[in-house]
Structure 1
Amino acid sequence: MPVMDFLTASHDAMLSHGVNLYAEIFVNAQGERLYSSFESQKIDLFASYFNNTAYNSFFFSCYPIQDITQIKEFGYFYDTPGSYSIEVNGGRETDKSRELLQMRMISKNPDKQIQSFYRTLQRNLKKISGLQKHTQKNYFYLPSPKIIIPANPHSKNTRDNWEDFNLSKIERDTVQG
C-alpha cells in the first residue's frame, strides 16, 4: 500500500498506544545515520524520506526516548530499546513500482505495549477498503497497476537505482524459474 495510506492508518493506533515513529536515513558512506521522528502535522515531510536514496527503514517504538539523539546512543535496535520496537522495511514508490512494507518485531520477548500496538495496527490495516490477501504469498496488498517489489534492505548496498536493481532481479528470477 502507499506509504501515506499506511501512515494514516497507523496514526490512531500510535496515539492510543503511546508509540512514536522514526525514519532512518544514511548520512554518509561510512554508515552514519540520521533519525527523524514523525509528527502528524508534517506527514508530507516524513513521507518524502521514502523518495530519498539515503532512506534505509523506519520503526515504531514505545521506548521512552526524551531526545531523538538518544537513538544513536542506544544503537539501532540493540539491547533494551529493541524490546519496544517494530522495524518496517520498504515503502519506496515510483510510477512503475511499489515496494512492499514488511514489519517485524525486533525482540523475541517484546514489551506488552508494543505487542498491543502491533495487534491493533494489524486489525486496522485489515479493515482498509479494497485490501486483498495474496493467494500464494503471506501478505496483504491494495490492487495496483504497479509492479510490487519485495522490500530488500540488502539491495540498498547497490550503486544502481533501487527500482532498476529490483526489477532486473525479478526479471532474472522469472527467466531462470
Structure 2
Amino acid sequence: MSQYFWIAIPAELFFQYCAETMDKHQAQAYVETIDRRSGKRNYVKYSKENQSAFLASFSSVDYQGFFLSTYPFSDQETSVDSGVFYDSPVAEYTIAGSGGYETDRTREIIHLRQIMKQADKSAKAFFAALQRSLKMIPDLRDTLSSGNKNHFYLPTSKSIIPQNAHSRLITMPWEEHCLSKDFVYRQE
C-alpha cells in the first residue's frame, strides 16, 4: 500500500530538517520544472552548493514537483532523463512530492507519497525515518481541519492551501484559485 504524508512548512525548513536523514539513507532530492513553451522537463538536484537555486525552483512558474530517491544513480550522471522517476526500477526507490510554494499570504502543503505500492526496502526505511524526523520539528502541530487525514503544520498567520494540482483548466494562479474558492485549511 502506498504511503502518504502531508506537512505545511516552508520548503527551506523542510529540506533543512530532511538533510541529515537524506545523508544517512543516501537519498537525493530533485526539483522538476516543465518549460511552459517547449514542454521540456528539467531537474535540479539538491546539494549544499546549489541550495539557493534548488529552493528558488519552488517559486518558479515552471515548478511541477519534486522527488526524493534512494536509487543509486551513478556519480557520473549530472542530468536525469524526463520521467525516469516513474519508470521501473527507479520508481521503487522514489517518493514524489508536491507543494511547498509560499508567498506573503499563503503557505502550500507539501504532499509526499511513495510512487510504488511495493517500494524498495531502502525507500521504505528512508520514508519512515523522514516522517519521524519531520514530526520532531519544534512547534510542529498536527490535524489541520481537512477531514480524517492527518496533516502536520507549523503555525502561521498565512492561509494554508492544498498542494498545487497543476490543473490545466485553472486559468488564474493556483494560490488565487484556492483563496477565491475558499480551499483553505484551518489551523486548530
Instruction: Identify whether the pair has TM-score above 0.5, normalized to the shorter chain.
Output: yes
2:113 aligns with 104
Does the aligned pair in 2 maintain the 1:99–1:151 contact within 8 Å?
yes
Render the CA deviation track for 1:114-147: whole Å, top value 9, x for unaligned: 1111111111111111000116441000000000
How does 1:60-71 map onto structure 2 within 5 Å?
60-66=68-74, 67-71=77-81
Render the CA deviation track for 1:94-115: whole Å, top value 9, x for unaligned: 0000000000000011011111
Render the CA deviation track for 1:5-28: whole Å, top value 9, x for unaligned: 100010000000010000000123
Structure 2 counterpart SS, 1:60: strand
2:158 aligns with 146
What TM-score, normalized by structure 2, do the two folds share?
0.84
1:155 aligns with 167
State the Cα distance separating 1:31 from its structure 2 match: 2.7
Q: Which of 22, 42, 45 is the equivalent residue of 1:37?
A: 45
Give the residue type in structure 2 aligned to 1:59. F
1:28 aligns with 36
State the Cα distance separating 1:70 from its structure 2 match: 3.8
Question: Is 1:51 paired with 2:59?
Answer: yes
Give the residue type in structure 2 aligned to 1:82. A
Which sections of structure 2, spanning at least 5 residues, go unmatched?
1-8
Structure 2 counterpart SS, 1:148: strand
Does the aligned pair in 1 maintain the 2:162–2:183 contact within 8 Å?
no
> Where is the helix percentage greater, Structure 1 or Structure 2?
1
1:175 aligns with none
Which sections of structure 1, spanning at least 5 residues, go unmatched?
173-177
Give the residue type in structure 1 aligned to 2:107. R
- Matched pairs, number: 171
Greater RCO (CA < 8 Å, at least 6 residues apart): 2
Give the residue type in structure 1 aligned to 2:58. F
Structure 1 counterpart SS, 2:86: coil
State the Cα distance separating 1:167 from its structure 2 match: 1.2
Give the residue type in structure 2 aligned to 1:26. I
Question: Is 1:169 paired with 2:181?
Answer: yes
Structure 1 counterpart SS, 2:100: coil
State the Cα distance separating 1:168 from its structure 2 match: 1.4
State the Cα distance separating 1:69 from its structure 2 match: 3.1
Q: Which moved more, 1:145-154 or 1:29-38?
A: 29-38
Give the residue type in structure 2 aligned to 1:90. G
CA shift in 2, pair 1:50/1:70, >3 Å: closer
State the Cα distance separating 1:43 from its structure 2 match: 1.7
Does the aligned pair in 2 maintain the 1:36–1:68 contact within 8 Å?
no
CA shift in 2, pair 1:12/1:162, >3 Å: same
